[in-house]
Amino acid sequence: DVLASAPAGSKESGRIKQLLWYYELVQYLLLVLEKDYSRTQEGWSVAAQIAQILSTCCVGLKPLTDAEEFHSQVLPAALEGMLLLARRLQARMLHARKEEEKNGFLQNFQNVVDSICWLFGGHIELTSRALKSEHLQQLLITDDADTACSTMSLIQNVLRTNRGAVGEVDEKTMNAILDELVYKLAVTSDPRLGGGVARALLCIAESHRPIIASFSTRFKGLQLLLNMWIGKGFEKDFRRLLDLLSAGSNKQAELQHLHKAASVVQSAWRAYRARCRLKKLPHAVTYLQRSFRQKREKERLQSEQQRQQEELRQELIIRRQRAMRTSRQRRLLLLEIVPANEMDRYLALEMTRAAILIQARWRGFQKRKAFRRDRQLLLQAKAAVTIQRAVRRFLERRHSQQTAASSRSLGWRGMSDARRMELRAHIEEHIQKHPATPMHGEEARELHNHAQALLGQFLLQRQLGRQSEQRRAATLAQINTQAELLANIPIPAQASPRDVEALRSRSGPVAARARQAHSLALRSLRRAWWQRLGEESSTDPD
C-alpha cells in the first residue's frame, strides 16, 4: 500500500524505495522469497505478492549507499529467486489434481513472470543473466502449454528489451534453448503453443543475425516443419521465419520482405487504378457519346452552311446572268430604236462611258492603295508639325519670359517717355533734398561689398527660377507632344517598328519601372480567378 500510494517514477516513490533499502527491507524480502510456502495457507499467493513487491522496489531504486552491492548481488539474487519461485509454482501446478488449484497456481505463476519482466525492464543488464539461468531452461522443459507459453513470452520480452542479449549468451546455452523450442514445435499440435514457439524463434533470429545460419545447419527439417504449420494460425510469423531461413541471413530476408511488400503495394495500386477506371467508365462513355454527338452536329451545321453558301453563290450567278441578259436585251431594244445613222455615235458614247467608269474605279483603287501606303508618313508628318508647333510656342514663351524679366530688372517695362522724365525729376529732387552724407573709404567699401552680395543673391535666385520655369515648360511640352503622339498612334496590326521605337522611353528608370509593371500585370493575368479576388481591395491606389 505504501508503494502504491506514490505514483511510479515520482520523487516520493524514489524516496520510499531508498528508505526500504536503508532499513534493509529489500534484503529481507529476498530471504523471505526463498522459503517454502507449501505448508502455509495461501502461501504461494503471498510469495507471488512478495515477488511483485520486490520487483517494484528494485525498479527505480537508486541507493545512496552500497550501490555496488545492490547491482552485483541483490539484483541477480532477486532474479534467481523469482525464477526459482516460478519453477516451484510450475511444479505445484503440474501435481495439482483439482482444476481450481491449477488455476490458482497458474495465476500466481503469471504474476511472477510479470514481475520478472518488470524487473529486467528497469535493469537491462539482467536480460543476458535471465537467458543464462538454468531455471529458465527448466521452466521451458515442460509439457504444460500455459506455462510454456508464458515462458516463451518471457523470452520474447527479454529480447525486446535487449536485442543484444543473445550475443552475450554462450553457444551451448543458446543451443539448449533452441533445441527445446524446435522440439516443442515438432511434438505439439496446439496452435497457441506453436505460435509462441514461432514468435520466440523469430525474435531470436531477428535479434542475432549470425544465428540464422545455424538454424539451417543444426535443424535440417525446420523448413518442412514450418510449412506443416502453415494454415493452422499465426501464418504471418511462420512465413516470416520461413523467409529468414530461405534467405540465409536477416539482410537478405529483409530484402525479400521488402520485395514482397512492394509487390503487394503494386498489386493494390493496380487494383485501385482498375477500380477507378471502372468507376469512371460510365462517365467516359457518356463523354464520348456527347463528344460524338457534338462533332456530328458541328459537321451537320458546317455542311448546312456550305450548302447555303453554295446556293447563295448559285443564286448570285443566276441573278448576274439575268441582269446581263436584261441589260443586253435593253441595249438591243435601244439599238432598234436608234436610227442607223446615229448608231456609231451611240456606240462611241457607250464606250466613252465605260472607259470613264473603268478609269474612275482604277483611280479609286490606286488612291486607296496610296493612302494606305502613305498613311504612316502622313501621321509622322503631322506629328512633326505638332512637335514643331509646340517647340515654337515653348521658345516664344521663354523669350517673352526672358524679356519680361530683363524689363522688370531695369524697371522700364510699360513706361512712356513722359513718365520716365517725371520719375527722373522726382529722383533728382529727392537727391537734392536728401544729400548723401560723407562716408569714409572703409565704410563705402563695406557698403559696396554688401550691395554686391545682395545683387549676386538676387541674380542667383533669378537664374534658379528661370531654370525651374524652363524645366516646367519643357515637361509640359513633352507631355503635350506625347499626348498627341498617343492620339495619332496606329492600331497594333498596322504599327511599324518605328512606331514602337517612338513609344519607347529613353529613361532607364522609367523603362525598368514599365517592364516591372508589365511583368506584374502578366503574372496577375496568368493566375486563377480565385487568386485575384482580393487584389482590388488590397492594391494601393497610388
CATH number assigned to the domain comprising residue 105: 1.25.10.10
Beta carbons within 8 Å of 226's beta carbon, 6+ residues apart: 185, 198, 238, 241, 242, 245
- 268 and 242 part of one domain: no
- 209 and 63 part of one domain: yes
Question: pTM for the whole thing?
Answer: 0.43
- 26 and 42 part of one domain: yes
- Residue environment code for 49-58, b if the CB has 16+ CB neighbours within 10 A, otherwise e: ebbbbbbbbb
- 51 and 121 part of one domain: yes
Q: Is residue 405 part of a domain?
A: no
- Final residue belonging to a domain, choices 327, 357, 387: 357
Closest by CA to 162, choosing from 131, 134, 135, is 131
Task: Report the alpha-carbon angle 203-209-211, nearest 5.
Answer: 85
Q: Look up residue 76 and give its three cell numbers.
A: 541477480
> What domain range includes position 61?
2-246
Closest by CA to 141, choosing from 203, 90, 195, 199, is 90
pLDDT tens digits in sequence order for the chain, 542 residues long: 555 555 565 666 667 766 666 666 777 777 777 777 777 667 777 777 777 777 777 777 777 677 777 777 777 888 788 888 888 888 888 877 788 878 888 888 888 888 888 777 777 777 778 777 887 778 777 777 787 888 888 887 887 777 777 777 777 887 787 777 777 777 777 777 777 777 787 777 777 776 766 666 676 666 666 666 676 666 666 667 666 666 655 566 667 667 778 888 999 999 999 888 888 888 888 888 889 999 999 999 999 999 999 999 999 999 999 988 988 888 788 777 777 777 778 778 888 988 998 999 999 899 888 888 888 888 888 888 899 999 999 999 888 888 776 655 544 445 678 888 888 888 888 888 887 677 677 888 888 888 888 888 888 888 888 888 888 888 888 788 877 777 777 776 777 777 777 677 667 777 788 888 888 888 877 777 666 665 544 444 33
Q: Is residue 515 part of a domain?
A: no
| DSSP helix/strand/coil, 96 | coil
How many folded domains does the chain comprise? 2
- 322 and 177 part of one domain: no
Q: Is residue 506 part of a domain?
A: no
Q: Is residue 112 part of a domain?
A: yes
- 284 and 225 part of one domain: no
- Final residue belonging to a domain, choices 357, 387, 408: 357
- 320 and 177 part of one domain: no
- 241 and 253 part of one domain: no
Q: Is residue 61 part of a domain?
A: yes
- 46 and 89 part of one domain: yes
- 89 and 101 part of one domain: yes
- Residue environment code for 299-326, b if the CB has 16+ CB neighbours within 10 A, otherwise e: eeeeeeeeeeeeeeeeeeeeeeeeeeee
- 138 and 16 part of one domain: yes
- 197 and 327 part of one domain: no
Q: Is residue 135 part of a domain?
A: yes
Q: Is residue 441 part of a domain?
A: no
- Final residue belonging to a domain, choices 303, 326, 357: 357
